[in-house]
Amino acid sequence: MNLRITGILTSIFYLIITGLNAYCRPFQANENTVQDNADSVAKVVVQKDIMDVLRQLKKKEKQSPAKVDTTVKTGKLLFSIIPAFGYTLSSGFIGSINVNSAFYSSNPKTTRISSITTNFIYTQYKQITVPLQANIWTKNNNYNILIDWRFFKYPQDTYGLGPNTEISNASKIDYSHLRLHQSVLKEIGTSFFIGIGYLFDRRWNIKEQDKNADVQEYGLPPTSVSAGPVATFLYDSRKNSINPEKGFYTSIQFRSNMKRLKSTSNWQSLIVDIRKYINLPAGSQNTLAFWNYNWLTVSGKPPYLDLPSTGWDPTNNLGRGYIQGRFRSLNLLYLESEYRFAITRNGLLGGVVFGNAQSVSDYPSNNFTKVAPGGGLGLRIKVNKKSRANAAIDYGFGAKGSRGLFVSLGEVF
């Protein structure tokens, strides 16, 4: 496999990170306040979220800023719920109810924040998604429990394999999908974790309405199963994974699917997920973030719908600006950068600008020859100032007129 583009993207990523790390001093600001450096005497600005605004509008609470409680107690649920609407080319208009619960299992000073997220999504094209995702930290971060359970009823277009497919190649595929992914990681050193898990994906009632040549050549049976163990190595220095202000995250995940565990075929994959967050300028509410995601087929032949594809990472956020499933092949490389900035000093409103680049390998040669760029901007609305959960509204665009409006609860990465 030609790894020239892999080397270029990875080198650029690490050069940028190294330079910015040398430039920025450590972050000192409290997560719930911001310092006004324009004055010689620092002024504390109390943070607000959408619930504060609603309470003020209803005149049910007349509380001075000095009395606002921003402390977080062990075991207390920080609950956020938001209805959302959006539009993408792959789904048409989207309606969803997004729910997030955040909590500390023990002392917030020594334990990272845990979160449980679920929602119900229904789209104009009769797509249904019901996920339950959890990222739970036990006392003193000794264990990290990861759960990703989902049900999909998901008619969607596919465009074939490789980087040179066209919108005109679209072929409608309809199927149901049950995903049961779970892992347990143990801390082996400060911010270092290793763990094992079991991943199960079953798709059934798979039907292709039109006949795409790549799909026909690769194969698309009416049912497919991918099941087997997963080994994970993780480094995570982020304090808050819901909305990181600083820190470094690296996950290396090796998945082995086995016929002996009822998989359709034997195949293995490797996912390397690298993220860096830099508080810029230091002491502000602004963050410069980088995301490098490499999704590689190590051996074997995955079912067509398990192949690396745009927007089919665990958070369904890869490739903003492109239709979900727009590019698909045996290997995928991705790089994104985003700048998150405060619009209001009380943290209620923020904005983002982002740019990304993705490349899938040719099929069947498996060489990397082409990059698809994307970019866009977005608005952030603080839903819960204690967990720092935001409602995210992004408009993204890509090559050849690709575009879309994306609405979610939580940051993209």
187-215 pLDDT, tens digit each: 999 999 999 999 999 999 999 988 899 99
Strand-pairing partners, residue 202, are: 178, 225
Residue with more model confidence, 94 or 101: 101
Render pLDDT for 307-345 as a digit per residue (tens, 0 to 9).
999 999 988 899 999 988 999 999 999 999 999 999 999
Task: Report which of 251, 341, 348 is spatially closest to residue 291, judged by C-alpha positions.
Answer: 251
| Calpha distance 280→270 (Å, rounded) | 32
Token duo for residue 192: 């270092």
In terms of phi and psi (left: phi > 0; alpha: psi -120 to 50; beta: otherwise), the region of 160 is left
Q: For 63-72, 187-196, 295-304, 375-384, which range has the lowest pLDDT when averaged over its residues? A: 63-72
pLDDT in tens, 124-149: 888 898 999 999 999 989 999 999 99
Confirm if 238 and 273 have CB atoms less than 8 A apart. no
- Calculate the average pLDDT of the chain: 84
How far is Cα 57 from Cα 200, in angstroms, rounded to an integer?
A: 47
Best CA proximity match to 384, nearest among 48, 85, 45, 35 = 48
CA trace torsion 9, 11, 13, 16 (10° rounding): -140
In this prediction the pTM is 0.81
Which residues are CB-neighbours of 225 under 8 A, at least 6 positions away?
200, 201, 202, 203, 262, 263, 264
pLDDT tens, 271-306? 999 999 999 999 899 999 999 999 999 999 999 999
Six-digit token string for 224: 């497919």
> Which amino acid is it at 373?
P
Q: Which amino acid is at 2?
A: N
Q: What percent of the chain has pLDDT over 90?
A: 56
Phi, psi of 42 (to 5 degrees): -65, 140
Name the residue among 333, 233, 337, 320 with its Cα closest to residue 276: 337
Most confident option among 166-175, 224-233, 323-332? 224-233
- In the chain, pLDDT over 70 holds for what percent of residues? 84
CB distance 357 to 371 below 8 Å: yes
Tell whether the model's pLDDT for residue 60 goes beyond 90: no
Using a CB cutoff of 8 Å and minimum separation of 24, what contacts does 214-217 make?
A: 214/160, 214/161, 214/162, 214/165, 214/169, 214/363, 215/158, 215/160, 215/171, 215/173, 215/304
Q: What is the DSSP letter of 112?
A: P
The architecture in CATH of the region 65-76+141-409 reads Beta Barrel (2.40)
Greater pLDDT, 169 or 256: 256
Where b means 16+ CB within 10 Å and e means fewer, 221-250 reads: eeebbbbbebebbbbbebebbbbbbbbbbb
Q: Is 368 in contact with 4 (CB distance < 8 Å)?
A: yes
What pLDDT score was predicted for residue 2?
Answer: 40
Kindly report, residue by residue over 389-405, the tens digit of the pLDDT. Answer: 898 999 999 998 888 88
Model confidence at 4: pLDDT above 80? no
Strand pairing category for 143-153 and 171-189:
antiparallel
Which element (helix H / strand E) includes 266?
none
What pLDDT is recorded for position 101?
Answer: 87
Greatest CA separation found in the chain?
Answer: 69
